[in-house]
Every structure is written in structure tokens, then in C-alpha cells.
Copies of this chain bind each other. A is one copy, B any other.
Amino acid sequence: MATSTGRYYGAVEAGGTKFVCAIGDDAGRLLVEDRFATTEPDATIATMIATLHRLAAGLGPLSAIGLGSFGPIELRREAPRYGYILDTPKPGWSGTDIVGALAREFRVPVGFDTDVNGAALAEHRWGSSQNVADLVYLTIGTGIGGGAIVGGHLVHGLLHPEVGHLYPRKHARDADFPGVCPFHGDCLEGLASGPAIIARCGSSFERLSPDHPQWEIEADYLGQLCAALVLTLSPRRIVLGGGVMNQLRLLPMIRLRLQHWLSGYLRRDELLGQIDSYLVPPRLGARAGILGALALALQAL
């Protein structure tokens, strides 16, 4: 199987629930792929390394590896713990040197970022946001996270965006729900993630009737999140992915709530008549995460 440059790249999407490993090429094609459950760090990292070796065996040596990870993670190159998972609610994983493990084993450049920053990069490079230099990629699923590109570059700074932990105003019909975030209770992740929906309604959206109040509550919180992003990161596009967004009726409801919360303050066509191309689903769909890891590998070279 020939690639455009003959080079192969390892890609790892490190999630709190599962790891996806793949080998890809410069053109953004994934050639082989495998996945396994996330367990404790030592075993998971050993499986990750073994999987990459096995997948690459039939192809050729890897020129670089990209790793998109759950967080928070240390991205500051000058920090002693660069490449580590930082203090995370995921048991056992705080202080894991995940980049070091890959770099020592494969001795190639390792591109490292949050899974959502990786997904933003993939949507920018191959998906919904080509030629869009300012964008936010959101995932609404087990957690709520966002990656951001500003002026063509991923946002890092002190840490990286952690937009799932913004506090929305409580919806009038949701006043008594305390939220499920272990740190904040009723932050966005605590109120609008998949587990929050289940905690409140006893099931996920699949089993809720179309007139259940949860739809309206969910759209309102995510509309508030998008409004906060417009007012801070000022993206030219917002991409909404993740399992909860598989409920296709949510997206148009969120667009209306975004407009509600901005209250006509920013009279941009993008936020008014053209909002359908401002708030969009990921063109790469559920592939945005692993393609993001491939994009990080390409960027590491």
C-alpha cells in the first residue's frame, strides 16, 4: 500500500473509556486500526505500544506518532512534567508520563495534545473547517470538552481550553438538579453531559419522548456554551460532536438558544441568517478523534 510520501504515522486516541490506535499517511488516510478498553495506566500503555507495533509491522517504520488524550494534560514544553496526564478524576492516571512511554519505545517525534484539540485540527485539515483559521470543536458525550484553533494555531496558554467546566445559568425547569461533576456539581459537564442526562431522566435521549423537557434544557445549556465561546474565543465556526449530538434534533435547537443568549448584540450574518453553517456537525463524524491524533503526528514532524 503506497502513501504519498511513503511515510507512515502512528495515531493514538487516548480516551477515558477506550484507546484507539491506528496507522495513517500524509493524506489523512487511516490504513489499519484497533481499539481496546482503558484500564490502569501500566497495562493500558503496554497494550498501546504492542498494538502500534503490531499494526505497523506489515507497513513500515513510523515517522512520528500523534497522541490525542483525555485531560487535563501538561502541554508546556518547558515544564518538567511535559507529556504527563495531570490531576484527573480518572483513578490511577494522575501523573502518568504517557508521551515519555511512546518516545522511549519508538524514538520518533510525538505530537501531543488534548483529544479535542486534535479533533479541531482534523476538522480544520480534512473536515468541516478547511480554510477556517478560528474554530472550536466541542464534544458532548461522557464529558464535555472543547478544542480551539485561533489564527490557525491550537490554543494552549496556561493549560488548554476546559470549556466543559464553565457554569451556565440554571434553566428554570432544572433548578433542583445538583449536577454530576465531581469538581463543580452543576457546571456544563455536570448539567449537560451524557451522565447528567441519565442522572436526571433515568435514561439517555434515545428513550425520551420528543416532548420531554430535557431536550429544551439540554439545548439551552449548549446554547449558553456556544454564546460564551463566541464572546471569548470569537471562532468563525463551532463544530459540535460527541455521542449526545447524535440526536440530530438538538443542533437546530442549540442554534436558536445561541441566538437567544446573544440577544442581537453581535449582528453578524454568521450568527443570524447563516447560522446553519456557523454551528455545524463534524464532517469527520466519530472519526474526528483518531484523525486528530494523525494530524498531531503530521504536525510533530
Docked Cα-Cα span, A270 to B170, in Å, equals 30
Q: Which one of B133, B165, B234 contacts A161 once the chains associate, using CB atoms below 8 Å?
A: B234
- Interface residue count for A (Cβ, 8 Å)? 45
Which of A101-109, A206-214, A244-252, A260-268 forms contacts with chain B? A260-268
* Residue contact A233 to B232, C-beta cutoff 8 Å: yes
Query: Which residues of B have CB within 8 Å of A183?
Result: 263-265
**Interface members, chain A 243-290 (any B CB < 8 Å):** 261-268, 270-271
* Residue contact B166 to A232, C-beta cutoff 8 Å: yes
For residue A135, which residue of chain B has the nearest CB? B157
Copies of this chain, count: 2
**Interface members, chain A 145-194 (any B CB < 8 Å):** 148, 150-151, 153, 155-163, 165-167, 169-170, 183-184
Query: Which residues of B have CB within 8 Å of A169?
Result: 167, 169-170
CB of A235 closer than 8 Å to a CB of B: yes
CB of A229 closer than 8 Å to a CB of B: yes
* Residue contact B231 to A157, C-beta cutoff 8 Å: no
Query: Which residues of B have CB within 8 Å of A162?
Result: 230-231, 234, 265-266
Closest chain B CB from A102 CB (angstroms): 24
* Residue contact A233 to B167, C-beta cutoff 8 Å: no
What are some 10 contacts across the A-B interface (CB < 8 A)? A134-B157, A134-B158, A151-B151, A155-B234, A157-B236, A159-B234, A161-B234, A166-B231, A167-B169, A184-B265
| Interface pairs A-B: 4 shortest CB-CB | A157-B234, A134-B157, A232-B232, A183-B265
